[in-house]
Structure 1
Amino acid sequence: MKRSMTIVIAGLLAAAAAAGAWHWHGDRQASRNAAAPLLAQAQRGDVEDLVSATGTLQPRDYVDVGAQVSGQLEKIHVEVGSVVAEGDLLAEIDSTLYRARVDATRASLENQRAQMLDRQAQLDLATLNYKRQKNLMAAEATTAEQLQTAEATLRSAKAQLAALQAQIRQSESTLRAEEAQLNYAKIYAPMSGTVVSITARQGQTLNTNQQAPVILQIADLSTMTVQAQVSEADVNRLRAGMPVWFTTLGGQDRRWQGTLRKVEPTPVVQNNVVLYNALFDVPNPNRALMPQMTAQVFFVVASARDTLTVPVAALSGLGRRPQA
């Protein structure tokens, strides 16, 4: 019995010793692993000091095409996405009223020009009669009263002719204005580009008495402008002419390059956060960039190319001193 008890105690002591040795070895190994430095190889690469911001894309050049005359919108010849050239017919407004005005003014002008011939003939006759009376007066073959009457008739004929000429000029001016209104009933593209929006409907009545109603918008998508909103803490680091690049959500890590054009001086306040709009342009020959796309923008404050680089973690350690 004593011998069995002795064997059990000896076994327990041996197990405890083994466990202690294993624990001591594990702690020592962990301590060694913790003390061992992490190693990384220095490499050459590019380094950039960046100011980041979020922006949106807009066409650099665009125009709102509106109506200059009132009336029913009879026909829209384009749709969203249509590519148009400057001078292409975009839409037509009912021109019945404007055409009638032009026809009436033309008829009135023709009547005035016909009267012009009659007034000119009367002036010629009055001129001859005055000359005849003047010659007769020199020969004492007429009276002073008849000469005065001939002179008054001549002045009246000249005045009537001048008045009619003024009426003709006024009618010609009215005709030009009414012909312009008639031409405005057809709306042409003021620039080449892509129709990006249509805000009026065919058959809609347009009223230009208050303001010119916008029918559609044309934009040149070959060059886009990025409008990035930069915080007031970073805006003083930006300078016109500095390089900038950005990515888009669906751009598959493609970097688009540009140059900062300007920073608008008037801020935009959103939820008590002051932001400034920074603008730069980017070519878009393949139309890969679309209006209202979101861009993650990076302004390059400073950069170094093909320089020796190490991980940032290697530059900070205990006491904030660089570690070898």
Structure 2
Amino acid sequence: MPVSHLMPRIAGIATAVPPHALPQSEVVAHAAETFGNRFRDFERLRPVFENTGIIQRYSVQPFEWFHRSQNWQQRTEAYLDGATDLFRDAASQAMDAAGVTAGEIDTVVTVSSTGIATPSLEARAHAALGFRPDVRRVPVFGLGCAGGVTGLSLAARLARADPGSKVLLVAVEICTLAFRDDELTKSNIVATALFGDGAAGLVLTADEGEGARVVSSGEHLWPETLGVMGWQVDPVGFSAIFSASIPDLVSQKMRPAVAAFLERQDEALDDLSGFAFHPGGAKVVEALEQAFALPQGTLNVERETLRDFGNMSAPTVLFVLQRKLEEGLPGRSLVSALGPGFTGSFVRLDA
């Protein structure tokens, strides 16, 4: 088959986490100390920590950092340092997995919504990694938890548009910097119970090599859902916006949206033999199982990823995808995540 007609393939994939482990038992103890005497609903919400299915997460900062009040500037400085380090780690490992050097990368797509970096992260990591001066840079902000899948979609389209070129995607999120001791809200408690830091990198290229191929991609934005998920910004930093309706939205809306996406590609849900979902939380994973009538065990990797790393926003689904590719993701598969908008993002892979 001519190279120009080949679908982009994943030539290499890798993940990275920062050095500071946050055991869930210590997080809930810290939260109780922080909120217990000031937030009358904390004890009612305390089971949220225990029902997440999370045992451990990771952070760019140690526990001590969170015991001090941090303003926007301090959070931004921590983001720039931590996200740049994670970008380098994930990018280096992904390029090693693909057997390419930084000098061979033609385009870098950077996905991150948990901090503001101008110059963007790939520019900050440029010299250390050894990218060429003419490397094309595509920083993307605002996709939240959908960023890993939408980033994969974008990177694949760029690779397909320039056959033989090599596109590096890095999704990096420093969610823990949004932990707030001044926000006495349910959304803040849920964020404190769920989120961790991490990064994932992929190299894509449209050539005749081996690897899972991106066949198609798409999105679905549900109307009048702007308040379901996102950031609120104030002088202290970001604070999370979450709606309790998310699992219900997944249960009721996700399957029809995926079916419509597949129909546009002349495919159907019954054609799929594998799934890789973003595990936004334990209830979301349960809702996905119900929505797609999946056999028990189908989403074990999603649960294990949530257990070991928490919800890292955009990179999380790529952690899942890496594991499933290593274990043998079957044939026609769907990679999917949900994020602010409220939006579903979909990628169809042939593994």
TM-score, normalising length from structure 2?
0.17
Max Rg structure: 1
**Greater relative contact order: 1 or 2 (C-alpha under 8 angstroms, separation 6 or more)?**
1
Q: Which has the higher strand share?
A: 1
TM-score, normalising length from structure 1?
0.18
